Amino acid sequence: MRRRWPLTLRGTLSLVLAFVVLVVSARTGLIPLAIAGVALLVLPVLGLATLWWGRGSVTIARRIRSTSPSVGDEVPVDLRVSTTVGLAAGTARWVDGHDEGFGGAASGAFRGGERLVGQQTFSAGYEVTARRRGVHALGPLTIITEDAFGLSRRVSVYGEPLMVTIAPAVVELVGLPMRAAEASGALNSTTSRLGEGMDNLIARPYAAGDSMRRIHWRATAHHGELMVRQEERETAPEATVVLDCSEAHWDAAARASPGSDPEFEAAVSLTASAAIRLLRDGYRVRVLDAGGAAFVPLLAVEDDVPDMLLTLSTVRAHGGAGAAELRTVISGAARGPVILIVGRMAEADRDAVARLAGASGLPVLISAGMRTAELAPFRAHGWRVGACAPADPDGVANAWESARTDEGLDDAP
């Protein structure tokens, strides 16, 4: 709880007028004028006494109706305030604070400005906008109470802040031109029941212990020996999304706190959006940093997405990884698509990374810190490239579309 100037504008004017009247009465000797001055002086003091003696207790309950808000989302908040006030007070207003992670006003009057008195419970709802990625605070709650004459006020702060994790913005992206089966030669479905769907059975010679029910009579007649059915289990192909977190490629703000550097924020948003797009296109997705460390385990189903967003909500630029580490990461991509999201690279780094395009069946590179002209070395070696303009509200989608439709020059020696 903290204290501020305890008088309203009306109370302050009453206090000033009281001193003026008392000075005049002292010079003129008019007793009625002195009585009026004392009354003007006593009223604000009585109001303050009423407020502080009857302040009672306040209990705060706050919850958000959105389980995992992302940057740009409207976040509904439910507020419940239980008060016990010993003496009658005047009007009371509430203001629920928040840090720079949220935008919007959160304030109102208790019961439309009715007097706050006795034991009461108030419920209110409001919305704030999630503005910055990271862990941010809603609260504490400030209650501003005035006395019945509107001369004095009490400003009190109650409760602990509610810490809310804000995930990176997720942008709806268009699928890559090369579908799952085309990218790595694998099918993107699994058939486990016989006699349904495509024929995914192969025949092999009978071995001791095989069930007679699995004999493939057509294959037996063809080969002249007993053959049995063997199910060929189809697997989903893998894609890899790599976020370059090397601190040398981003501004200092990207290392300081999540949400501080617009370029790095665009890169994190691209990472989350690309991973979700690939997952929906039938891939199992690895999400890594440039050093090969996984942000989350392999994404295989939509239920894995919240864990990825939770991890990406607090990621910052750190350490450093060069072309050697990236070569290892990209080489392990099993010929599937590789989405590499980078910042501002030095010319030597550009040339080294550009030559890694051949390690992927579908290499895509998007930069949130370089201009299109600076991406020429990558394109010359076969990367599909795109440049993201963080200041553009559609920068993430435009950069993805640019890379998606780019063919690269494929001039690698």
One digit per residue, the tens of pLDDT, for the chain of length 413 reads 445 778 888 888 888 898 888 888 888 888 888 888 888 888 888 887 777 776 667 889 999 988 889 999 999 999 998 877 655 566 788 899 999 999 998 888 875 444 555 677 888 889 999 999 999 999 899 988 888 788 888 888 888 999 999 999 999 999 887 543 354 444 343 333 333 343 445 677 877 767 777 788 888 887 888 887 765 444 568 899 999 998 888 999 989 889 999 999 999 999 999 999 999 998 999 999 988 889 998 999 899 999 999 999 999 998 776 666 777 777 766 568 999 999 998 888 888 888 888 878 889 999 998 998 999 999 999 999 999 998 888 999 999 999 999 876 654 43
Specify which residues 308 forms β-bridges with: none
In the numeric block, which tokens belong to residue 126? 């409001």
- Give the other-Cβ count within 10 Å of 193's Cβ: 7
pTM of the full predicted structure?
Answer: 0.77
Closest CA to 264 of 374, 137, 134, 99: 134
Q: What pLDDT is recorded for position 187?
A: 37
Q: What pLDDT is recorded for position 198?
A: 38
Dist CA 289 CA 338 (whole Å): 12
In the numeric block, which tokens belong to residue 158? 């109650």
